[in-house]
Amino acid sequence: MIVYDPTGFLGDYGFSIQGQAYASLDTVYSKSGPRIAILDYLGDIEPDRDRFDLIIWYTMENFYVFKSRVQDNKKEIVLSPNSQGADFFLSNWIYSTAEIYKKSYVKPNLNCPYIATLFVGRIADRTRVSRKLNRAWAYYETLERGWQDLVMTTVRDQVSSQTLMAESSRCADLKADMEMKINMFGDVSPSKLPNFDHHESNSVRQALAENLGTTDIFDRGQAGDVSLFDQRNLIPENFYRNSFCDIVLQEFQNPGVFLDEKISKPMLMGRPFVVIGPQYYLKFLRELGFQTFDPVIDESYDLEPDPVKRWRRAFDQIRVLKNSDLQSVNDRLKNRLKHNRKMSYNSEYWIDRLKKWLNDTIEKETGIKCAIY
């Protein structure tokens, strides 16, 4: 079998393939940052399709940008974790973040000044605003509850209330609650909450120096040796030293469950969390083999179909933790947190899972049995 890998996907992950594989970008580009430039670069790549048995395109960007490239040609496949699977995305993020941190660990701070972290990030992103309304909702909910003294928060950009009002009207389950919040608080603005410096907004080199005490991983990545590196892999250790748990914001309108770096970070650092995201998110994590925190946190919110009710019930658990003895909470959860850390750092497990997903997906979509190993 002769495989053409124009985006250098196989090389990025150190994968081998039965037969011969040719790549035009090799391992120079990382998955997200520099790889965005490939959107333009790919326009110049038109392979001699008669020469290859299989052509693999890979993009972290919108899958549909590339859909027209393959059409009904069963020799080609576009792999995109954004559109093709939570399993791939979580395996991808946990594996690559674990490879960078190599079992780095921030011990739980039981005398922490803040109970939780809330990385709101960017709320509006061109046409994808409606996928991120849970971010705006969590921002406003923190204001509405007066939780500035409980939650360490980051907000990336100011967002117009008119924009959010228009987007809220597209999501019937959220419309009334979001309209009430928007009318009460106006624009999303970092100045309305204590907006702590978040190292992801600094340079990658500076962030690594501050959090890991070294820039070695970045320097090697610049040389093309660490192709898995992505700025979003950075774990906010300074936040974690001053808080106990995470409020995880996950996109909620994708089909099924969407898993990425937002959940991989608390897993790798052994932190409890609540999720402002889709229904059955915790159920899916348990099916993967992770353990959640029902001995301490009422996780029945995961079963609630209405997003506003679900997210309010999840937020309620932050107050429960605040009013709890954190030493007792930590003692009750420590075996579960240890299990999640151990599972997250099992690189062999995640890379094998990734290979299986790739082989199954290629065969399903093209009919070609492809041995990636």
Stated pTM of the model: 0.79
Q: How many Å apart are CA 151 and CA 168, to the nearest integer?
A: 25
**For position 232, what pLDDT does the model report?**
63
Beta bridge partners of 57: 78
pLDDT attached to residue 283: 92
pLDDT at 32 over 70: no
Give pLDDT, residue 363.
85
How many other β-carbons are positioned within 10 Å of the β-carbon of residue 107? 10
To which residue do tokens 């709320």 refer? 123
Cα–Cα distance for residue pair 81/92, rounded to 1 Å: 9
Domains in the chain: boundaries: 2-85+351-366, 104-198+236-344
pLDDT at position 34 over 50:
no
**Residue at token pair 């393939």:** 17
Specify whether the CB–CB gap between 209 and 215 falls below 8 A.
yes
Task: List, for residues 108-141, the tens digit of each pLDDT value.
Answer: 888 889 999 998 887 865 545 556 789 999 999 9
Nearest to 338 by CA among 91, 116, 105: 105
CATH class for the domain made up of 104-198+236-344: alpha beta
Could you give the CA distance from residue 52 to residue 169 in angstroms, rounded to a whole number? 48
The residues near 366 (Cβ < 8 Å, ≥ 6 apart) are 54, 74, 75, 76, 77
Locus of tokens 């899958």: 63
What element of type H or E holds 324?
A: none
Q: Confirm if 275 and 282 have CB atoms less than 8 A apart.
A: yes
Contact between 117 and 247 (Cβ < 8 Å): yes
Separation between Cα atoms, residue 372 and residue 354, nearest integer Å: 10
Q: Give the pLDDT confidence of 241-295 residue by residue, as tens digits.
A: 889 999 999 876 545 566 777 888 888 888 999 999 988 999 989 988 899 999 8
